Amino acid sequence: MVFNLSACGLVCFILTYMAVIYSDYVIIFQLLRPVFKEGYITTVVAVYYNLIVFLLTLAHLRAVLTDPGIVPLPNRSHIPRDLQTLKRNYPGGWTVCRKCPTIRPPRAHHCSVCNRCIRKMDHHCPWVNNCVGEDNQRFFMLFLIYTGLCCLSSLVLVAISWIADATKHATDKNQIRIIHSIVLVVISCLFGLFVIAILTDQLTAIFTDETAVEHIQRQHPRLNRLNEDADLERAVPLRKLTKFEVLRAVCGVGPIYLWPWPCLRGRRAAKPFAWSLDLLSPPATSPSSSSSSCRSSAAVPLLASDPESVYADSNLAEEEEEPPSVAS
């Protein structure tokens, strides 16, 4: 479980729940009960709306508290040859972070807010007070979807309640209810439009299998010479997968009916990365099999059973020099 203490993230976190609680209050106590009284319509609509609010809240908390894919910090000193070994056996993706001394797997990037490297980092979102990465992107998507559905439901319920109220109390207009309705419409429109924009961006990133960070690096290659990856090659080329395959990679390989539920999680298509530099060291074997075992041990620096027993204290970021063609 992770929870950042950045000021901006905490403010956005509080504002999110203030907006959700206020919207629920207005729908139930200012629109449904005054207009439809205590009838079955009020009960059915209240249950529906609060189910949306519950799923929204749960998805948000999962996005906030789930480890987005933090690359573990080093736990032993290593040497530049370790990185070269990994690059030789797994070309096109291993990088060294110059801000946290970590050898990191392909498509991992450093977040300046979390001050850690995140696997398949898309961006840092203050509204979930966390990075959006490999392991919590599904919850972030569900948060956006349920927020959009909540905003749409609020607008529809405001319109229906006022139409129904106009047929019953054409001259009896509660000023407080009018103010609450206007505020709710404004909140729903602002959050709804914002969510549509972010959701569109996320779907584009998923279906193209390209994160926001990778998109910026591709559009502005000059920036690659100025960031912490300046001394390293571009990550592995994007895989050619169908849209459904990349969507399944985000949502998990479990049944599709589990995807909309933030309380459950389908199995991932592969285990999370757990790179272990200890596996780089050749095991003690008989002389007859030394060459083959050295080769095989260097070829399996992944799937360590404990994801926290990964990297080591490193001066590699300082020892690795930039190529002559790269500006410092």
Quick one: what percent of the chain has pLDDT higher than 70? 64
Output the pTM of the full model: 0.74
pLDDT > 90 fraction of the chain, expressed in percent and rounded: 29
If you compute the radius of gyration of the chain from its CA atoms, what whole number of angstroms results? 25
DSSP E strands, the chain: 95-97, 102-104, 108-111, 116-119, 123-125, 130-132
Q: Decide if 325 is inside a domain.
A: no
C-alpha neighbours within 13 Å on the C-beta side of residue 76: 10
- Select the more confidently predicted residue: 162 or 88: 162
Neighbouring-strand partners of residue 130: 125
In a domain, 212, yes or no: yes
Q: Which residue has the tokens 């559905």?
A: 149
Instruction: List b or e across 212-249, with b for residues whose CB sees 16 or more CB atoms inside 10 angstroms.
Output: bbbeebeeeeeebeeebbebbeebeeeeeeeeeebbbb
Confidence of residue 1 (pLDDT cuts 50, 70, 90): low
**Which residues are 95's β-sheet partners?**
104
Q: Which residues are catalytic?
A: 125
Phi, psi torsion values for 260, nearest 5 degrees:
-75, -5
**Domain assignment of residue 148, yes or no:** yes
Q: Does a structural domain hold residue 43?
A: yes
CA distance 298 to 296: 5
The answer to the question of residue 327 being in a domain is: no
| 90 backbone φψ class: left, alpha, beta (φ>0; ψ -120 to 50) | beta
Q: Which two tokens stand for residue 17?
A: 């729940």
Q: Residue 263 domain-assigned?
A: yes
E strands within 112-205?
Answer: 116-119, 123-125, 130-132
Task: With respect to residue 247, please indicate whether it lies within any of the assigned structural domains.
Answer: yes
Q: Which domain holds residue 77?
A: 7-319
Q: What pLDDT, in 10s, does the model give residues 8-54?
A: 889 999 999 999 999 999 999 999 988 888 788 899 999 999 999 99
Q: Is the torsion defined by CA of 262, 267, 269, 272 positive or negative?
A: positive
**Domain contains 201:** yes
CA distance 223 to 81: 27
Q: At what angle do helices 175-207 and 7-25 cross, to 10 degrees?
A: 130
C-alpha 154, offset from chain centre? 26
Residue type, 2: V
* Total count of domains within the chain: 1
pLDDT value, residue 55: 96
Kindly report the backbone phi and psi dihedral angles of residue 99, in degrees, each rounded to the nearest multiple of 5, phi listed first.
Answer: -105, -35
Query: What's residue 265's pLDDT?
Result: 64
Task: Tell me the two tokens of residue 191.
Answer: 């959050």
Q: Report d(CA 5, CA 11) in Å as an integer.
A: 10
The DSSP symbol for 95 reads: E
Provide the 3-class DSSP secondary structure of residue 40: helix
